[in-house]
Amino acid sequence: MSNDVTDGAQADDKADALPLTTLGLIGAVARAMTEHQAAVIAPKLHAPKDLLVAEFLERKQSDLIVEVGGEEIGRYKVNLSRDRFEIDDEAAFDAYAEDKGEYDVLIVRKPSFEKTVLQHAQRDPKTGAIFDSRSGEVIPGLKFVPGGKPTGTVTWTWKTFKRQPVGKATLIAALRSGELDEVLRETPELLQRAQPGTRD
């Protein structure tokens, strides 16, 4: 891994020595592979998303640890919404913004005012009233939206050690050895023989 930069520089030197027609062919192959990846392989990146989100809604399972040969290589995590404030009554909040002189010439709220007010909004746990934490003034037209709901997306994180993606290296090794061939039989486009560079 430490030779990646050096290897890349050597590859560039070799590429410079190739004829233009050969470089054109290499570019076309790379383009075809990139388009193939976008069309066929990229959709598989978040294959567990829908089922993992459903598991979270039913059982509150937010992580899926992925292992190869009993060794963790990474994990998917359900992304959750955060608590936030949002405009509930446009007219009331517009009147509030106008009273504060925070209207643009087009008679719309200044986006910077809205952003600042939402950042400083707090909620009184007893009364439910929403107020400005800087002044204590009640802010009309806002509502509190609790977070903790799935956003519909998941995040992948490689298992790392000393900031290196060791999980990725473990997965590539398993692909090269054929260990995952049986698992990937239903998705032949992901088998090592279909992936340039996965078998030396």
pLDDT in tens, 12-64: 555 567 778 777 777 776 777 787 778 778 778 888 888 888 888 888 888 89
Q: Which whole number is the average pLDDT over 73-101?
A: 91
CA distances from 46 to 38, 76, 99, 165 (A): 13, 9, 48, 19
Average pLDDT rounded to a whole number, residues 90-103: 88
User: When comparing pLDDT for 197 and 15, which is higher?
Assistant: 15
If we measure between CA atoms, which residue out of 159, 192, 199 comes closest to residue 69? Answer: 159
Answer yes or no: is pLDDT of 101 > 70. yes
Q: State both tokens at 168.
A: 């990725």
Q: What is the per-residue pLDDT for 107?
A: 66
pLDDT at 47: 84
Segment among 1-10, 89-98, 99-108, 181-190 with least mean pLDDT: 1-10
- Give the CA distances from residue 174 to residues 83, 98, 160, 182, 185, in Å, rounded to whole numbers and listed in that order: 41, 63, 17, 12, 14
Q: What is the pLDDT of residue 30?
A: 73
Q: What is the pLDDT of residue 78?
A: 92
Mean pLDDT throughout 148-175? Answer: 86
Return mean pLDDT, the chain.
Answer: 81
Q: CA–CA separation, 47 vs 88, rounded Å?
A: 36
